Amino acid sequence: MSFFHAGPAPRAFGPRPGALRDGLHLEPGMRVGLFGGSFNPAHDGHAHVAETALTRLGLDRVIWLVSPQNPLKDPKQSASLADRMASARRWARGPSMIVSDFETRAGTSWTVDTLRALRARHPEVNFVWLMGSDNLESFDLWRGWTDIMRLMPMAVIARPGSLLESRAAPAARRFAFARVPAERAQLLPLMEAPAWTYLSAPLNPRSSTALRAATQAGTTA
């Protein structure tokens, strides 16, 4: 069950030739959140992050970037891309939410390469990278994480069990000078990177790991 409304209605943008060449329909001037993950499976905790960002940042779209295979995770524990895309679509509700296999289309595996490709293909779109606060804690272990911070603004949405830890994370300390107060979050998509904000919201404790464990327990009971 989703606890947030779908956010503002999408603004009207005219058609542009070739806009669907990468499976997306993005127009110059759009404010677009990029929400990456394995979504193995997707759940209402993911919807919580996406919908919070949509509303609080005043975004036109949130793109759920379903990774072909997270290079930091065991492929044996991952469902097929088709299954994970279907799982994400069940939770990415409303016309402002887009589920995309862009990484498969572009042939990228690492987030930093995916974001560079999107920026190159849509230079006039105002992108924001979205992540849950649980990911911020280990963000400094990601390949090219400082480059990600300098590529586009970033919004971190509170997740259970990581509130204090994430705000004291190495990435948060390294880029403390670029932190934007939550009260100014609506301006974030138009800011020059590095710029990031931390958004608190009613918490949703769901996790993909717990859901997979419950599924496996059910099949072996």
Whether 194 has a pLDDT exceeding 60, the answer reads: yes
Whether 29 has a pLDDT exceeding 50, the answer reads: yes
Mean pLDDT of the chain: 83
Whether 65 has a pLDDT exceeding 80, the answer reads: yes
Nearest to 90 by CA among 193, 211, 199: 211
Residues 199-215: pLDDT tens digits? 987 765 554 344 334 44
* Structure-model confidence comparison of residues 77 and 163, the more confident one: 77
Domains in the chain: ranges and CATH: 31-220 (3.40.50.620)
Residues 71-121: pLDDT tens digits? 556 666 678 999 999 999 999 999 999 999 999 999 998 999 999 999 999
Got the DSSP string for 22-78?
Answer: TS----TT-EEEEEEE--TT--HHHHHHHHHHHHHHT-SEEEEEE-S--TTS-GGG-
pTM above 0.75, yes or no: yes
pLDDT at 41: 93
The C-alpha atoms of residue 127 and residue 104 are separated, in whole angstroms, by: 20
> Cis peptide leading into 28, omega within 30 of 0?
no
Confidence of residue 143 (pLDDT cuts 50, 70, 90): very high
pLDDT at 46: 94
Lowest mean pLDDT among 40-44, 65-69, 154-158: 65-69
Whether 130 has a pLDDT exceeding 60, the answer reads: yes
pLDDT at 23: 77
SS3 state at 96: coil
